[in-house]
Copies of this chain bind each other. A is one copy, B any other.
């Protein structure tokens, strides 16, 4: 080829050079640590799935439009996973009889969405998925929300930086029915309009509600919900299941000490059709970045896509890496450097047999000290330049003279101090 290939990654995807990867390993490491300490178990599944499972969940059109999909040589319609929920529902369905419910599972898969890249949205991203299966009670909703708060706190975020906005889909239906007096089908039509409230002009919003039979007073009562607290909102339909669930969850959040992070927000609906109870979104409080970072909620019927009459409820959330990283940078929660431990370069001279350096290296590595010998044959000054640029903290120097006397010199690249030591003392000092 005379035409050279582009060195750019595919639009909407990222290359992770070592310095980027150190950030990511720290970033995911914090999440893994928190979730493992909370006894969540990690799982993973394939990057390619049958397109049908996304079509069954979100509709043929959306699945087709939002995924990278194609047909394999066996005429199977495949998609690169755009989300993890159908995969995990499939996995739970496949082993329903042997799994030990309730399950507390998490995963950190890479996935693709076919959309125009923009701030906070890329085509390739990683998504932390946290789900609890097989517990119908508020305890699971609480544990789920608490895990998200615990993750953000582990990064150093506090209640001034983020807010968990919580609603309940059952309550949403109940309160709409109570205000409008509509039957479930009618309430559903009203809900669809309310779901689009922020996406259409106020006039259009009111017009659509009036067309569904609402009067000005009813529209005003719905408006009022957006600024209400849980107590006042649930007082509208106090005995409904949705109100009971919502009060129970907020009571538990309060008692768990999580109230400072959480508010009731009637505006949280979450477009997806499958949420059935608690829904929540975690917002960045920074004025320049104020928006939902991620969210989730309770869904009851996903496993039912795979197993007839299966009744395994789930509650969970998916947290995208791009948005979360933006949040951490916005609030200055990313450390200046990572893995700042000792890293040792053994410099090399021509008058010393190479195998002596290899022996030094073996001893360092066997002691668990991150180390390398300089690869190649450059002047000493160049080797030091390489070490400084590459984040090495120390060099071990063994020239002909040191070699003859059975010692090494250890130079601290930060303080520039140098010590002459036997190898075993050098290892003890470095460790």
Residue positions of A touching B, CB distance < 8 A? 1, 4-11, 13-18, 20-22, 24-25, 36-39, 41-50, 52-53, 56, 68, 70, 72-74, 76, 78, 80, 87, 90-91, 93-95, 100, 102, 104-105, 110, 112, 114, 123-124, 132, 134-137, 139-140, 142-143, 150, 252, 255-257, 305-308, 343, 345, 353-355, 358, 362, 365, 368-373, 375-377, 386, 389-390, 392
User: Which residues in B have their C-beta under 8 angstroms from that of A47?
Assistant: 13, 47, 80, 110, 112, 124
Known contacts A7-B94, A56-B1; A124/B46 CB under 8 A:
yes
Q: Are B375 and A132 in contact (CB under 8 A)?
A: yes
Q: Are A5 and B354 in contact (CB under 8 A)?
A: no
Closest A-B pairs by Cβ, 4 of them: A13-B46, A255-B355, A18-B41, A7-B94
A372 to B21, CA, bound (A): 31
Cβ-neighbour of A370 out of B36, B132, B370, B392 (below 8 A): B36
A376 to B370, CA, bound (A): 46
Q: Are B369 and A10 in contact (CB under 8 A)?
A: no
Q: Are A38 and B137 in contact (CB under 8 A)?
A: no
User: Which residues in B have their C-beta under 8 angstroms from that of A46?
Assistant: 9-10, 13-15, 124
User: Which residues in B have their C-beta under 8 angstroms from that of A355?
Assistant: 252, 255-256
Known contacts A1-B56, A5-B52, A44-B16; A38/B372 CB under 8 A:
yes
Known contacts A38-B372, A365-B38, A386-B100; A45/B21 CB under 8 A:
no
Q: Are A358 and B48 in contact (CB under 8 A)?
A: no
* Total copies of the chain: 2
A274 to B132, CA, bound (A): 49
Shortest distance between the CB of A344 and any CB in chain B (Å): 8
A87 to B14, CA, bound (A): 11
Of all chain B residues, the one with the shortest Cβ separation from A49 is: B10
A-B contact pairs, 22 of them (CB 8 A): A1-B305, A4-B305, A4-B308, A7-B90, A10-B46, A10-B50, A15-B87, A16-B44, A18-B43, A37-B365, A37-B371, A39-B343, A46-B124, A47-B110, A47-B124, A68-B72, A100-B386, A100-B390, A102-B375, A136-B376, A150-B365, A255-B355
Shortest distance between the CB of A122 and any CB in chain B (Å): 10
